[in-house]
């Protein structure tokens, strides 16, 4: 009997079943796909490193010559699986006169000579154009795109290079215009490459770029005579777990050597990269979670509507001898089938959108682009959709008992006071009819899906408004540097370790009418509770300082402000004390008085501050020998400059450039004027591409489709009423207008409810997100976008109602009245 009844009523309910399948499939698929995309994005850098056969530990020796015996000693340590090395060699492109080109030397361009395959089979570089150089050929080289542009060479060019000895390079009277290279050769550029460490980097790291890679065949004869320092990439048996033990073993096994021996664990890069990628991963996962909640809520409403449709027949079925189990199955058989089919469709949609991930900086170099089958997320999402929606159907079916159905029928028979007010207010008959259709379920036997349409529109509005508010807040963060620590306009930077002459700088800045305030700062790495932390040293109560997140700025030499991530890593709270040491003098106790969003500043390519990492303390805690790198009286590493309010940034920058040039004289390398230095989190935002827009568009398309099908079901349920309206003189145009009013009223109610809730939810989520990435939590409400959403919702609702309008206009009155 149940199966017979399902088959005979399927034609009347197929639009509702189709709406449920499409809603669960499209919106649920977007939700599952977004969560999977967030998960894939978060793990993308680890997967990328694994594909490059990346070393677990780098050991660097910054004194002359490549030490083969040290490399051999490391190779035979018990926890070491493999070691490959490279050396920085004194090689430069030659000018037509045979002398080294000064443009191809310096800290912005580093010539790496692979010793035994580093960069070729271990820590492999990414070939963006061309092919990997043959390690057995001395006449082939590779370089990154920026270096190729700076040297004026293109892929396939052949040009001369020359190597000078360490003695020549270290001579106090070195003049590249007259030095004679010890070795000359012609090489061919066969590849434009990208180093694995440049995939996720901030603006401070980007300043330390420029890489030329020579083959082992070229490097071999230059290792002892013409190399400045060397590095070894070490693969360990248990990866990061063995790093500390191997570092200790190398320290005990290596021969005595000058200062300049240090380690760098790849796990640190992975941690920093994961932190930089985390905003994109969280943002896309949050979008998925919001969409999932919307899909579940709308689907449950549709299930409830389906159960209520058959509720009036339950008493008849019971009178004919149907058991309680049979009546329950009668209500759920179609719903359960639609849920299962829709959930399977959701997995198909999630698989279809998986090529959009990962988003962010790893996407261009993703080792496994295309479709990704994340069965953990897909399987869990499938189970959640089926279990939650089926359970909701069972619960709603239980509520559909005869006495509850009767009570509900009496409740829904109430007339809408809004429709009555519209009629008394003189609105047209189609308008009053459309309002009544939108607010009144209608006949008890076959009620229209009023609440489902309204709630569905409201939930779709909540999801869209929440997404827009979150996205606008992210845009505000990117466009307002003060929110990520850059609480000034320009930085005078002592390039190459230069100390800025403080007295001269103060005098020049004081005379500049475009400058409102400035502060000299020092960069260093100090031990805080035994952990090496990048620090920003400045005067207590400095005129220019990073923005404080909690507590207050430090105002005395015995106080310190920490980045939020550093505070958490040290397991401290505001008000606790830490011990700060420079490695030589006794440790100093400092009290933590606050946390701050720290700027991306410091030594390029090395340890420097970032949004949540570092400390701000008195510069007196940094030793003089660290603050003065040139044997001259200490001067600041940089000066943060805040322009006068209303001053032209272009004019102020030009004025600062003149000040910098006035301080550029020997023995200083130079003073640069820097604009905003963005952290990796902000740099990566631009690499998200169109993925968020595509996913949001998918959500809008799913919600619009569901609304259209819901309106179609409503019109189908109103066939008898529409037929009666025709008999009393309604024209086709008036019937279509009534359906349009129905769609518009449903959309307006959904917008009225959804906009404020979406704004509140978006702001709340953004504050949580900003705190996760250690940014200043300042949410933004996109007024223009909200207005466009309101207008767009009305337009989409009426477009979705177009087919139901035509159906209503063409409904044969006589046939409906005869069968009704």
Q: What is the DSSP string of 532-550?
A: EEEEEEE-TT-SS-PPEEE
CA-only gyration radius of the chain, Å = 35
Do the strands 548-551 and 577-581 form a parallel or antiparallel pair, or are they unpaired?
unpaired
The pLDDT value recorded for residue 154 is 92
CB-CB contact of 618 with 561 (8 Å): no
CB-CB contact of 67 with 230 (8 Å): yes
- Cis, bond preceding 667 (omega within 30 deg of 0): yes
Provide the CB-side half-sphere exposure for 360 (13 A, CA).
Answer: 31
Give the position of tokens 């004390």.
577
Cross-strand partners of 113: 87, 214
Higher confidence at residue 758 or residue 256? 758
Q: Is 573 helix (H, G, I), strand (E, B) or coil?
A: coil
Q: Percentage of residues in the chain with pLDDT exceeding 70?
A: 77
Distance (Å, whole) CA 593 – CA 552: 6
Across 286-312, average pLDDT: 73
Q: Is 71 helix (H, G, I), strand (E, B) or coil?
A: helix
255 pLDDT more than 70:
no
Q: Which residues contact 316 (CB under 8 A, 6 or more apart)?
A: none
Higher confidence at residue 721 or residue 409? 721
**Among 369, 378, 375, residue whose Cα is nearest residue 349:** 378
The pLDDT value recorded for residue 706 is 61
The pLDDT value recorded for residue 305 is 67
Helix (H), strand (E) at residue 35: helix 2-42
Instruction: Please report which confidence band the pLDDT of residue 191 belongs to, taking 50, 70 and 90 as the band edges.
Output: very high
**Among 27, 483, 46, residue whose Cα is nearest residue 278:** 46
143 pLDDT more than 70:
yes
Residue 591's CB is within 10 A of a number of other CB atoms, namely: 14
The pLDDT value recorded for residue 575 is 92
Distance (Å, whole) CA 740 – CA 398: 35
205 pLDDT more than 50:
yes
Instruction: Please report which confidence band the pLDDT of residue 207 belongs to, taking 50, 70 and 90 as the band edges.
Output: low
Instruction: Please report which confidence band the pLDDT of residue 182 belongs to, taking 50, 70 and 90 as the band edges.
Output: confident
Across 100-126, average pLDDT: 81
Task: Please state, in angstroms and as integers, the Cα–Cα distance from residue 325 to each residue in 1, 328, 329, 460, 513, following that order.
Answer: 12, 5, 6, 35, 86
472 pLDDT more than 80:
yes
Phi/psi class of residue 28: alpha, beta or left (left: φ > 0; alpha: ψ in -120 to 50)? alpha
The pLDDT value recorded for residue 787 is 86
The pLDDT value recorded for residue 328 is 62
CB-CB contact of 179 with 164 (8 Å): yes
Across 553-566, average pLDDT: 90
DSSP code for 704 = H
Higher confidence at residue 249 or residue 592? 592
Distance (Å, whole) CA 522 – CA 532: 16
348-364 pLDDT, tens digit each: 999 998 998 888 778 88
Q: Is 205 helix (H, G, I), strand (E, B) or coil?
A: helix
Across 781-804, average pLDDT: 78
Chain-centroid distance of CA 44 in Å reads 12
Chain-centroid distance of CA 415 in Å reads 50
- Cis, bond preceding 358 (omega within 30 deg of 0): yes
561 pLDDT more than 90:
yes
Distance (Å, whole) CA 448 – CA 526: 70
The pLDDT value recorded for residue 628 is 64
- Retrieve residue 93's tokens: 């492109």
Provide the CB-side half-sphere exposure for 731 (13 A, CA).
Answer: 3
**Among 48, 689, 37, 691, residue whose Cα is nearest residue 368:** 48
Mean pLDDT of the chain: 80
> Any idea of the CA torsion for 380, 382, 388, 391, to the nearest 10 degrees?
-120
165 pLDDT more than 80:
yes
Provide the CB-side half-sphere exposure for 266 (13 A, CA).
Answer: 24
The pLDDT value recorded for residue 62 is 60
The pLDDT value recorded for residue 412 is 47
- Retrieve residue 683's tokens: 């740099």
What are the DSSP E strand ranges found in 40-122? Answer: 57-61, 80-89, 91-93, 110-114
Cross-strand partners of 86: 114, 231
Distance (Å, whole) CA 466 – CA 468: 5
The pLDDT value recorded for residue 157 is 93
659 pLDDT more than 60:
yes
The pLDDT value recorded for residue 726 is 74
Across 146-153, average pLDDT: 86
Start-to-end C-alpha separation, the chain = 23
- Retrieve residue 218's tokens: 């070229």
Do the strands 140-144 and 91-93 form a parallel or antiparallel pair, or are they unpaired?
unpaired
Higher confidence at residue 795 or residue 135? 135
409-432 pLDDT, tens digit each: 444 455 777 777 877 877 888 888
793 pLDDT more than 90:
no
Helix (H), strand (E) at residue 162: strand 158-163
Higher confidence at residue 195 or residue 235? 235
The pLDDT value recorded for residue 668 is 47
Cross-strand partners of 673: 492
Across 168-179, average pLDDT: 75
15 pLDDT more than 80:
no
Q: Is 567 helix (H, G, I), strand (E, B) or coil?
A: helix
Instruction: Please report which confidence band the pLDDT of residue 771 belongs to, taking 50, 70 and 90 as the band edges.
Output: confident
3-state helix, strand, coil in the chain (%, to 5): 55, 15, 30
* Lowest-confidence pick of 66-80, 380-394, 434-448, 656-670: 434-448
The pLDDT value recorded for residue 477 is 87
- Retrieve residue 323's tokens: 């058991």
The pLDDT value recorded for residue 137 is 94
Higher confidence at residue 388 or residue 530? 388
- Retrieve residue 609's tokens: 């501050």
Domain boundaries of the chain, sorted by first residue: 2-45+273-478+686-819, 63-259, 487-677
The pLDDT value recorded for residue 142 is 94
Do the strands 638-643 and 515-528 form a parallel or antiparallel pair, or are they unpaired?
antiparallel
Helix (H), strand (E) at residue 452: helix 450-479
Task: Please state, in angstroms and as integers, the Cα–Cα distance from residue 295 to each residue in 24, 286, 396, 597, following that order.
Answer: 6, 14, 17, 37
The pLDDT value recorded for residue 400 is 60
Q: Is 492 helix (H, G, I), strand (E, B) or coil?
A: strand
Across 518-527, average pLDDT: 88
Chain-centroid distance of CA 157 in Å reads 38
The pLDDT value recorded for residue 215 is 95
Across 277-298, average pLDDT: 78
Instruction: Please report which confidence band the pLDDT of residue 107 belongs to, taking 50, 70 and 90 as the band edges.
Output: very low
Burial class (CB in 10 A: 0-12, 13-18, 19+), 672: middle
Burial class (CB in 10 A: 0-12, 13-18, 19+), 56: buried
The pLDDT value recorded for residue 518 is 93
Instruction: Please report which confidence band the pLDDT of residue 715 belongs to, taking 50, 70 and 90 as the band edges.
Output: low
Across 388-401, average pLDDT: 76
Give the position of tokens 């949580």.
768
- φ, ψ of residue 768 in degrees (nearest 5): -60, -45
């Amino acid at each position: 009997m149940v199966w017979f009844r399902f088959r005979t009523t399927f034609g009347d309910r197929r639009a509702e079943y189709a709406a449920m399948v499409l809603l669960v499939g499209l919106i649920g698929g977007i939700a599952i796909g977004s969560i999977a995309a967030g998960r894939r994005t978060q793990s993308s850098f680890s997967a990328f490193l694994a594909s490059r056969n990346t070393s677990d530990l780098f050991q660097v020796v910054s004194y002359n010559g490549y030490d083969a015996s040290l490399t051999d000693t490391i190779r035979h340590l018990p926890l070491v699986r493999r070691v490959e090395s490279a050396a920085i060699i004194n090689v430069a492109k030659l000018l037509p006169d045979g002398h080294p080109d000064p443009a191809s030397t310096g800290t912005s361009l580093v010539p790496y000579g692979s010793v035994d395959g580093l960069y070729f089979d271990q820590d492999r570089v990414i070939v963006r154009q061309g092919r990997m150089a043959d390690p057995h050929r001395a006449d082939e080289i590779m370089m990154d795109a920026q270096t190729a542009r700076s040297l004026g060479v293109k892929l396939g060019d052949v040009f001369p290079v020359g190597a000078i000895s360490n003695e020549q390079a270290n001579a106090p009277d070195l003049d590249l215009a007259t030095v004679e290279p010890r070795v000359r050769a012609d090489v061919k550029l066969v590849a434009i490459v990208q180093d694995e460490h440049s995939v996720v980097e901030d603006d401070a790291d980007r300043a330390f770029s420029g890489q030329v890679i020579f083959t082992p065949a070229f490097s071999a004869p230059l290792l002892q005579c013409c190399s400045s320092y060397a590095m070894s990439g070490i693969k360990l048996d248990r990866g990061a777990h063995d790093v500390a033990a191997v570092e200790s073993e190398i320290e005990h096994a290596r021969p005595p050597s000058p200062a300049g021996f240090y380690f760098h664990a790849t796990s640190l890069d992975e941690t920093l990269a994961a932190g930089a990628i985390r905003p994109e991963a969280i943002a896309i996962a949050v979008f998925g979670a919001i969409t999932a909640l919307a899909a579940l809520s709308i689907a449950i409403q549709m299930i409830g509507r389906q159960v209520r449709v058959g509720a009036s027949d339950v008493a008849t079925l019971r009178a004919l001898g149907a058991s309680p189990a049979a009546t329950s199955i009668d209500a759920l058989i179609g719903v359960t089938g639609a849920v299962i089919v829709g959930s399977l469709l959701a997995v198909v949609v999630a698989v279809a959108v998986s090529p959009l991930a990962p988003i962010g900086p790893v996407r261009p170099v993703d080792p496994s682009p295309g479709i990704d089958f994340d069965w953990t997320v897909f399987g869990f999402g499938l189970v959640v959709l089926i279990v939650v929606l089926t359970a909701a159907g069972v619960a709603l079916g239980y509520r559909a008992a005869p006495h509850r159905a009767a009570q509900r029928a009496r409740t829904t028979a109430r007339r809408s006071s809004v429709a009555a007010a519209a009629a008394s207010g003189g609105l047209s008959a189609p308008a009053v009819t459309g309002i009544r259709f939108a607010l009144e379920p209608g006949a008890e036997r076959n009620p229209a899906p009023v609440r489902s349409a309204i709630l569905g529109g409201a939930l779709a509005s909540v999801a869209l408004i929440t997404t827009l508010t979150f996205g606008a807040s992210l845009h505000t963060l990117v466009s307002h540097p003060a929110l990520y620590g850059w609480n000034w306009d320009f930085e005078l930077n002592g390039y190459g370790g230069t100390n800025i002459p403080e007295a001269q700088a103060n005098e020049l800045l004081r005379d500049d009418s475009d400058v409102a305030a400035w502060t000299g700062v020092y960069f260093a790495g100090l031990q805080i509770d035994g952990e090496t932390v990048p620090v920003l040293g400045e005067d207590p109560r400095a005129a220019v300082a990073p923005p404080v997140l909690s507590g207050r700025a430090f105002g005395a030499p015995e106080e310190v402000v920490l980045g939020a991530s550093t505070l958490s890593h040290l397991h401290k709270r505001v008000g606790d004390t830490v011990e700060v040491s420079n490695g030589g003098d006794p440790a100093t106790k400092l009290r933590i008085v606050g946390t701050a969003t720290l700027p991306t500043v410091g030594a390029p390519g090395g340890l420097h501050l970032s949004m949540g990492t570092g400390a701000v303390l008195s510069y007196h805690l940094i030793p003089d020998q660290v603050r003065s790198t040139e044997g001259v009286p200490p001067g600041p590493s940089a000066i943060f400059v805040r322009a006068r309010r209303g001053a032209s940034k272009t004019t102020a920058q030009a004025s600062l450039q003149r000040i910098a040039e006035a301080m550029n004289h020997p023995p200083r390398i130079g003073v640069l004027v820097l604009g905003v230095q963005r952290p990796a989190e902000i740099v990566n935002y631009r690499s998200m591409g169109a993925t968020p827009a595509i996913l949001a568009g998918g959500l809008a398309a799913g919600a619009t489709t569901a609304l259209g099908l819901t309106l179609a079901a409503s019109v189908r349920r109103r066939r008898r009423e529409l037929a009666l309206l025709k008999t009393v003189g309604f024209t086709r145009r008036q019937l279509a207008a009534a359906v349009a009013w129905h769609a518009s009223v449903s959309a307006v109610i959904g917008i009225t409810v959804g906009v404020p809730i979406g704004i509140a939810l978006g702001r709340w989520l953004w504050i949580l997100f900003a705190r996760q990435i250690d940014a200043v939590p300042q949410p933004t409400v996109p007024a223009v976008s909200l207005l466009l959403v309101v207008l767009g919702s009305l337009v989409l609702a009426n477009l979705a109602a177009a087919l139901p309008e035509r159906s209503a206009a063409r409904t044969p009155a006589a046939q409906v009245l005869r069968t009704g």
